[in-house]
Structure 1
C-alpha cells in the first residue's frame, strides 16, 4: 500500500496534540467560503498540473467535495468568494521566480490571452470546472482579481470580504501547501479567523516532497480550525 494513502499516520490528527483547541465556532452571519483556484489546470486530468497533483486530488475526492461545499454555502446564504490564478502575456516577462513559478510559466498554467479579453478562455486550463459555474457565475459570488504567485496580497480578496462584513473564512481549493497555505497565512495576519477544509484541498507530490503532508502540518499550527468537508457541511446546515 502506498505510503501516501490516508491511512498513513502523518495524515491523521495527532493522538496527543501539543496545540490547544482554538474553540473556533462557525458564525454564519459573518462567515465566507473562499475557494482558491477551482480551475481546470488543477482539478482535471486535462490540466497541466495533473501529473503533480492528480493522485492527491483523486484520493481526497476534492472535485466532488468542493461542489458539495459550494452547494451548502449557497443554501446557507453565506458569502462565497473565488480567488483565481491567472497569467497574462506580460507576466511571462518576469525576470526571476521560484521553482514552481518557473514550472507554471513553462507549462502555460492558468494562461489567458489578455487581462481585458476572454478569448479562448472557456474550457482552457484557466477556466473554472463546468460543474462549479452555476455557483460561481450566479452574479452573487465574489470573483476576486487574480493572485499572481500564491497569496492574496496581490488581489482584492481581503477588501471584498471586509466590504461584505466577513470576519470568518472557510478555506478550500488548491493547492494545499502553496496558494491555500499562503492565503491562510495572509488572512490570519489580516485579522480574519480562518479554518481550512483539510480534505477539500490537495497538493503536489514530487521528489522534493509531499506537499499535502507539509500543508497539514502547518494548518495544524496556524489555522483556527482544520475541518473535514462533512463537518463544514454539517455546520452550514445548522
Structure 2
C-alpha cells in the first residue's frame, strides 16, 4: 500500500495494482491551435502548460504498475450521438461540431484533430475510451473495464478541470471509486475556473475526494518501488 501526501493535510492510500490513471481528453482539438478550441479563440496556454507534468506522471504510472486509461471526447461521423443543445453551444463558441477545420471535422471520431496530441499518445495495451459526453462513464464501457481489472482507486488528470475532469470525477464518486484529482495535471482555459473546481471538490468535508499534485504521486510510487527492492534484497541476503 502506498500513501500519498495530499492537500489539506490528508493522505490517499492506494495499491498500484488496483489503481487507474485516467488521462482525460488530451486531444489536438483541445490543445492544438488548429483544433476546435484554438479556432474558437480560447487561450490554450494553461492547457498546454500541464503537458510536461503529465508526461512525467504517465511515465511513472507505466513504470510502477498503475493502469492507464485515455479518454477522447467526440462523436460518430453521422453525428447521431450529438444532442442539439451541444451542437448549438459549439456553433456559438465558433467551432461547430462536425464542421470542417484545419485538422478535419471538429470533434468527430477518426479525424486528426480528434486524436491525442503527440506528447501523450497511448502505448499498446492502454485502453482508449471514446465518449460522446463530458463524463467518461456516460455511454461508454469505462466502468465495466475498471471493474474487470479490479480497479478501486482512480487518479484524474486532463482537460478541462471544470468540465470533463469534474464530470468524470462526479460519476466516479457516485460509483464508489476512491478518487484523487491531480491539481497540477488538470487545467482550464480560465485559471479561475480551475481553482473554483478544486474548492468544490474539497467542500463539505471533501465531498468529491482527495486533491494532490502529480509530483506527490510520482515520489510515492518511486519510494514504494525502492523500498520493495530493498526488502527483496534483505530477504535474499
Q: TM-score range by the shorter chain?
A: 0.7 to 0.9
Inter-partner Cα distance in structure 1 for 2:194 and 2:88: 17
In the other structure, the counterpart of 2:141 is: 156
Which deviations, in whole Å up to 9, do the C-alpha atoms of 1:110-150 show, x marking residues without a partner?
Answer: 223xxxxx4xx3xx2111111222xx132x21112x22221
2:22 corresponds in structure 1 to 34
Of the candidates 176, 179, 182, which is equivalent to residue 164 of structure 2?
Answer: 179
Distance 1:193 1:229, change over 3 A: same
Q: Are 2:69 and 2:127, in contact at CA under 8 Å, matched by a contact in 1?
A: yes
Q: What SS does structure 2 have at the residue aligned with 1:52?
A: coil
Partner of 2:150: 165
Q: Tell me how far 1:79 sits from its aligned partner.
A: 0.8
The change in CA–CA distance for 1:189 and 1:125 in structure 2 (over 3 A counts) is: same
- Report if the CA contact (8 A) 1:37-1:84 is conserved: yes
Q: 1:43 to 1:30 in 2, by over 3 A?
A: same
Q: Is the contact made by 2:75 and 2:131 (CA closer than 8 Å) also made in structure 1?
A: no
Structure 2, unaligned runs of 5 or more: 1-6, 99-105, 225-237
Is the CA contact (8 Å cut-off) linking 2:160 and 2:188 kept in structure 1? yes
Please state if 1:57 is matched with 2:47.
Answer: yes
User: Shift of residue 70 of structure 1?
Assistant: 1.1
Which one has the bigger strand percentage? 2
Question: How many residues are treated as equivalent by the alignment?
Answer: 202
Change (3 A) 1:226 1:100: farther
Deviation at 1:53, TM superposition (A): 4.6
- Residue 98 of structure 1 and its aligned partner are, at CA, apart by 8.1
Q: Distance in 2 between matches of 1:131 and 1:97?
A: 28
Residue by residue over 1:144-190, the C-alpha shift from the partner in whole angstroms, topping out at 9 and shown as x without a partner, is: 2x222211222111111111000000000111000000000000000
Contact 2:97–2:107, Cα closer than 8 Å, also in 1: no
- TM-score after normalising by structure 2: 0.75
Displacement after TM superposition at 1:74 (Å): 0.4
CA deviation map 1:171-218 (0-9, x unaligned)? 00111000000000000000000001111111123xxx9421332222
The TM-score normalised by the length of structure 1 is 0.75
Q: Which runs of 5+ in 1 are unaligned?
A: 1-12, 113-117
Shift of 1:87: 1.8
Q: What SS class does the counterpart of residue 33 from structure 2 fall into?
A: coil
Cα 1:56/1:126, change in 2 over 3 Å: same
Instruction: Give yes or no for the alignment of 1:95 onto 2:77.
Output: no
Distance 1:105 1:89 in 2: 16
Matched with 2:197 is 215
